[in-house]
Structure 1
Amino acid sequence: MLTQNNSNRMTELRTVLDRSTVPAPHREDMSFAMTLGKQGLAPPWPTGPQQATDWQIRQTLNVLEQADVCVISPGAHAAVMAAAATLEPADVTTLDRETDIHAPTGFVVLPEPVVLVNRGGGLSDTVAFGWQFITQHQVLPTSTYPGVQLTTFMDRDGPVQPPEWRMVVTQARANHTPLPPFVPDGMYGLRGDRATTDQSTEDLASLSAEHRQLNQALNRVARPNAPSEIGEWDGGRIEDAHDDFAARYMFAFWRLASHGTTSIGPVTPRPPSAHPDTTSQRPDRDIRVVRLTHQVPSQRARPEDARQSRVYSRRWPVRMHKVRQWYPSTQEHRLIWRGPYIKGPADAPLVMGEKAYLID
C-alpha cells in the first residue's frame, strides 16, 4: 500500500514537472527532493518505489520505538482543529522546531478519527501523528535544512471502511499478520528553521499561492481551500484538497502548546495490566495528556442581562483569531492565536456538532 502511494505521488510530480520550466535533466532529482528529500532521505535516491517504502517503514518504526507519547483531550483537539483552519501554507514555514516542539521524537493520538476529503474527493481518516527531527535535502541548488518528518496514521477500524480496505484487513488476519490498530498512511517533511519568519505579508501570501498552484496542478479535480483569519470547527469532515491538513494540524498543536493555550502534562504511568505482555522486550510506554490550559467563556454577561442568563447543558468550541505578534525582545514576528474559547459549564460534555457518516 505504501509502495503504491509512493509510486502514485512520484508519477503525479513527474507529470507536473514535465509541463514546467524546470530543465529536463533535473526533473527526476527535483521530484525526489520534493518528496523523499523533504522527508529526510539524503541522495543517492532509491532506484524504485520499494526501496523508498523500506526506508519509510524504518523511519516509522524508529518513531514508534523512541517517541514521547501524548493523547490529546477533546477540548484541546477542538482548539487545534480551529487553529489549523486559520493557517495558510506559508504560516507553517514559520515553524521553529527548537522552541515550538517539546520533544524531538513524538507521537500524538487524537480523541477520535478526523475524516478527510482528499484530492479527487476520496475519503480517509487520521487518528494519530508521529514526528521526529531530521535534516531535509533539497536540490537546485543543493542545500540542507533542519526539518521535521511527520507521519500520519489512519484508524484500522475507523469510520472509513470501503470494501477494498475491509478485504485487506480480512486477508491480513487470514495470513496471521493482522494490521495494527494504527496504520501508517503518509509521510511529510516540514522545515523547522523559521524559514519565513521575517517575510512580509505579501511574500507569505505569494508563497501560499504558489503552494496552492502546485497542488491544484497535482489534483485531477481542483477543490477550493481558503483559510481565514478566524477559525472554528464543528466536528465535520475536513476538505484536504491540497494535502496539507497534517502539516497545519501539527503546526497548530505544537504552537498552541508552546505559547500556553494547551498544556502537555507530566508523564502518567499506566496502571498495571491484568494480562501483561511477557513477550515484549520493553514495557508499555508512559503517556502525557494534552489539555486546554484555560477554558474562558466567549461572552461575559452584562449586569443588565444577569436575570436572562442561560443555563447550558453542554460545552462547545467557539472561534479563535490568528495574529502575527511582534516580540520586541527577539525582534521578530511570531504567529499566535487569541482564543480559543470553550463555552459552557466546565462539567458539561463537550460537543463538536452532529456527525453522521455513511462511508462505504
Structure 2
Amino acid sequence: MAKKQKKGWTAAGAARAAREHRTTTAEFLRRAPIARIDRAQRLVDAFELHRSHVGGHEEAAALMLITGLGYPETWQPEHWYEIGETVIDDEAVDLAKADLYILSPQMVDVITAAASSLTEDDLTLLRADDLPCRTGVLVLPRPLLVKTPNGNISDDRAFLWRGPIPMSIPDPATGAFVSKPAVKISTYYDRNGPVEADSFREFAAQARAEGTPLPPLMLDGIQCYPFEFVPSSAQLRNLDAWADNARQSGTAQRRWEEEHGYQENVVLGDYVSGDEIDDPDGRFMLRFLYAFWRLCDQSIAQISEAEVNHSARVTAARVQAPPEVRVVELRSARSASSDADDGESLDRWNHRWVVRMHKVRQWYPSEQRHKVIYRGPYVKGPADKPLIGGEIVRSVTR
C-alpha cells in the first residue's frame, strides 16, 4: 500500500486547527479538576526550587513564586490548591479572550533566528507599545524543542501574553516591593509532541478516566517580565545562580527517575541530541515573543486575516472567544532585479540564497528611544535558480 503523504501547511488549515486548539484547551482549563490539581503540584515543585535557591527561606520562596506569576506580594493563600485554582481560572479567561495569531513554518525559522540574536541589553528596550495587542496567543505550526534550564526537553507549541499588568518586584536599594508594568507570558507544550514521558502517559490516562481528556495544548510555565527593566549586576548574578541551581536540581531529578525506572525525557521522531534550542536562563519564551513582536512591526512580516466562516464562529463561541485569526508569514522576497543595486551582476550565479539577517538598535528621535530592528532576510540571486540554505534562516522557501 502506498504511504500517505503528509499535507503541507496552509493558512486556512492552520487557522482552523488553532481555533480548535485554543477552544478545546480553554474548555479543559475551565472544567477539569485535574488541571487545578496538576497546577498545584507544579507550583509545589517551583516553590521547592525557589526555596533551595534562597537557602531554605520559605517566606522568600513564596514571594518569589507569587510575584513571579503576576500576583501581589500581599496575597496570602491558605493552600496550594487555592493558588492553582486561581492560576487556572485566570489562564482560561485570558486564553479565551486573546487575539489569535498563527505563523507559517518559514516565519518560525525567521523568528527563531531573530530571537537567538537578542542580548540582555536588547531586552531592556521592551515596552508595552511593542505588544501588537493587550492579550494575544501565538500558535506555532509545529512544536519547538527547547532545552530548559533544568536540562529537560520541552516541545513548546504556543505562547500566551497579556500586558501591561502590574508586577510587584523588590527595590534593589530598599528591598521594599514596588509595582512595575510588566508582560505576563505562558508557555503551552504540545500534547501530541515528540517528547514522551512515563509520568505524562499516566497523567493522560487519569484525565481520560475522569472524563476530561487532555487538550492539544498543555499549560507549562508562566513568567512575568517588567517593561524597560535594567537589571543590576547583583540581579544578573542572582539569575545565573538560579539557573545553575535549576540545572543541579534537574540532574538530581533525572538520576532519581532513572534509578526508579522512569523515562521522562525521551524524544521521538527524527530528533538528534543537540538539535534543540538551548534556553540556559529560562527566557526563551520572552526572546521568541519579543522577536515576533518586533518583526510584526517591520516589513519582513506580512500579516493577513484568515477567512471566518460559520464553522469558525461556532468553534470560537464555545468559549466566547473572538473567531478572527491573524496569519503571519514571511513577506515575499525581493526580486532578483532589485538586488542589482549593489552593482553586482546576477547572471553568473546558478542558485539563490538567503542573505544573512542582522539586528540593529535604531534610534527614533520622535520617540526619544531605541528600537530593535531586523534587516533581511531576503533571497538573493536569479529568480529562476534553485534555492540553497542560508547561514541563519533555515527552510525559507520563497
- Give the TM interval when normalised to the shorter protein: 0.7 to 0.9
Alignment of 1:144-223 (within 5 A): 144-192=179-227, 194-196=228-230, 210-220=238-248
* Structure 1 residue identity aligned to 2:138: V
CA distance in 1, matches of 2:245, 2:297: 35
Q: Is the 8 A contact 2:191 2:216 kept in 1?
A: yes
279 and 170 in structure 1: CA distance in 2 versus 1, 3 angstrom threshold: farther
211 and 260 in structure 1: CA distance in 2 versus 1, 3 angstrom threshold: farther
TM-score w.r.t. the length of structure 2 is 0.70
CA distance in 1, matches of 2:202, 2:189: 16
Cα drift, residue 6 of structure 1: 1.5
Aligned to 1:248: 287
Aligned to 2:78: 47
Count of paired positions:
324
* Structure 1 residue identity aligned to 2:94: V
Does 2:67 match 1:37? Answer: yes
337 and 165 in structure 1: CA distance in 2 versus 1, 3 angstrom threshold: same
Does 2:303 match 1:264? Answer: yes
Aligned to 2:16: none
Cα drift, residue 130 of structure 1: 0.8
Aligned to 2:88: 57
Cα drift, residue 135 of structure 1: 1.0
The answer for unaligned runs of 5 or more in structure 1 is 20-26, 197-202, 224-234, 355-360
The answer for unaligned runs of 5 or more in structure 2 is 1-37, 252-273
| Larger displacement relative to structure 2 (5-14 or 281-290) | 281-290
Q: Is the 8 A contact 1:91 1:204 kept in 2?
A: no
TM-score w.r.t. the length of structure 1 is 0.77
For residue 108 of structure 2, give the secondary structure of its aligned residue in structure 1.
helix
Identity %: 29
Does 2:144 match 1:107? Answer: no
CA distance in 2, matches of 1:35, 1:258: 33
Q: Is the 8 A contact 2:357 2:376 kept in 1?
A: yes
The structure where helix makes up a greater share of residues is 2
* Structure 2 residue identity aligned to 1:250: L
CA RMSD of aligned residues (A): 3.6
CA distance in 1, matches of 2:316, 2:107: 35
Cα drift, residue 35 of structure 1: 3.1
Does 2:276 match 1:237? Answer: yes
For residue 157 of structure 2, give the secondary structure of its aligned residue in structure 1.
strand
Cα drift, residue 276 of structure 1: 5.6
CA distance in 2, matches of 1:94, 1:68: 24
Aligned to 1:227: none
Alignment of 1:1-360 (within 5 A): 1-18=38-55, 27-42=57-72, 43-97=74-128, 99-133=129-163, 134-139=165-170, 140-192=175-227, 194-196=228-230, 210-220=238-248, 236-265=275-304, 267-273=305-311, 280=318, 282=320, 285-293=323-331, 295-296=333-334, 300=339, 306-311=346-351, 319-341=356-378
CA distance in 1, matches of 2:82, 2:158: 25
Cα drift, residue 150 of structure 1: 0.6
Q: Is the 8 A contact 2:69 2:222 kept in 1?
A: yes
Q: Is the 8 A contact 2:109 2:394 kept in 1?
A: no
Q: Is the 8 A contact 2:316 2:323 kept in 1?
A: no
CA distance in 2, matches of 1:41, 1:92: 22
Aligned to 2:261: none
CA distance in 1, matches of 2:120, 2:218: 26
